[in-house]
Amino acid sequence: MSRYFTEDHEWIEVEGQTGTVGISDYAQGQLGDIVFVEAPDLGRSLSKGDEAAVVESVKAASDVYAPVSGTVTEGNPALADEPSLVNSDPEGEGWFFKLTLSDPSELEALMDETAYAAFVAKL
Q: What's the CATH number where 72 sits?
A: 2.40.50.100
Instruction: Report if residue 123 sits inside a domain.
Output: no
SS3 content of the chain, % helix, strand, coil (to 5): 25, 40, 35
Contacts for 25 with CB less than 8 Å, ≥ 6 apart:
90, 91
Q: Is 90 exceeded by the pLDDT of residue 1?
A: no
Confidence of residue 68 (pLDDT cuts 50, 70, 90): very high
Quick: pLDDT tens for 15-58. 999 999 999 999 999 999 999 999 999 999 999 999 999 999 99
How far is Cα 74 from Cα 100, in angstroms, rounded to an integer? 10
Instruction: Report if residue 110 sits inside a domain.
Output: no
Instruction: Report if residue 117 sits inside a domain.
Output: no
Burial 17-49 (b: 16+ CB within 10 A, else e): ebbbbbbbbbbbeebeebbebbbbeeebebebe
Per the confidence metrics, is the pTM higher than 0.85?
Answer: yes
pLDDT of residue 36: 97
Instruction: Report if residue 71 sits inside a domain.
Output: yes
Instruction: Report if residue 21 sits inside a domain.
Output: yes
Instruction: Report if residue 109 sits inside a domain.
Output: no
C-alpha count within 13 angstroms, C-beta hemisphere, residue 15: 4
Q: Could you tell me the residue range of the domain that residue 10 belongs to?
A: 2-104
Quick: pLDDT tens for 79-114. 999 999 999 999 999 999 999 999 999 999 999 999
Which element (helix H / strand E) includes 72?
Answer: strand 70-75
Instruction: Report if residue 111 sits inside a domain.
Output: no
How far is Cα 50 from Cα 57, in angstroms, rounded to an integer? 21
Provide the number of structural domains found in the chain.
1
Instruction: Report if residue 49 sits inside a domain.
Output: yes
